[in-house]
A and B are shown apart, each in its own frame.
Chain A
Amino acid sequence: GNSVTQMEGPVTLSEEAFLTINCTYTATGYPSLFWYVQYPGEGLQLLLKATKADDKGSNKGFEATYRKETTSFHLEKGSVQVSDSAVYFCALSDLGAQKLVFGQGTRLTINP
């Protein structure tokens, strides 16, 4: 079945550091790919998405490129801020099945 594997956390960085959170997937067909962010005590918010190969999603300085050849959708940000501290989830949605399949989440902490 479909699955998503995320880089294990927790990840701790200093402010202004470069961020990469790895995400790879296994899926039949051509899924859409998503990154969601969850702040403490809150629900998930969509951070960015890509719906076909080579698409790049971007938002709030975060980027991820849909790489079909490596089945990856790694999240990157050039300069992180303390306010980026949260849990980040990679997810996929197969065209034939509307449900989202999530990775296990990566907890990110940014120190000033």
Chain B
Amino acid sequence: NAGVMQNPRHLVRRRGQEARLRCSPMKGHSHVYWYRQLPEEGLKFMVYLQKENIIDESGMPKERFSAEFPKEGPSILRIQQVVRGDSAAYFCASSPSGAGTDTQYFGPGTRLTVL
């Protein structure tokens, strides 16, 4: 039973380029969460999605960041015109029902470096 898959594992971009991070949830999970981990810090919530819907984007920066979870295919976190401050590890998690008691299962993360 495959876990949460993320790709790429490492991504290097120059300032001003776009970054696309992909997340495939565990089989049977339709709830996806994105978190960002800055160096030596804890994880901060960014966005919560179900298939074709954004449920909570209260942690997303207002500009340059967007997320989607289409009916078919992985969830995508897109960062336009990246800046050095976007360098971080981005983790995706999934859960079966979205209940607060649910365990969220995390992927291995995408480590974004902006030069």
Q: Interface on A for B, CB 8 Å cutoff?
A: 31-32, 34, 36, 42-46, 49, 51, 89, 93-105
Q: Chain A residues near B44 (CB, 8 Å)?
A: 102
Q: State the total of A-B contacts with C-beta under 8 angstroms.
A: 69
The minimal Cβ–Cβ distance linking A94 to chain B, given in whole angstroms, is 6
Q: Is B69 an interface residue (CB 8 A)?
A: no
- Contact of A98 with B43 at beta-carbon distance under 8 Å, contacts A31-B100, A45-B106 already known: no
Chain B, interface residues (CB within 8 Å), range: 20 to 34
CB <8 Å contact, A102 and B100:
no
Contact partner, A43, options B98, B99, B106, Cβ 8 Å: B106
Q: Using Cβ atoms and an 8 Å threshold, which residues of chain A touch B93?
A: 44, 100
Q: Is the CB of B42 within 8 A of A105?
A: yes
Seed contacts A43-B6, A100-B33; 7 additional CB < 8 Å A-B pairs: A43-B91, A43-B107, A44-B43, A44-B106, A93-B104, A98-B99, A98-B100
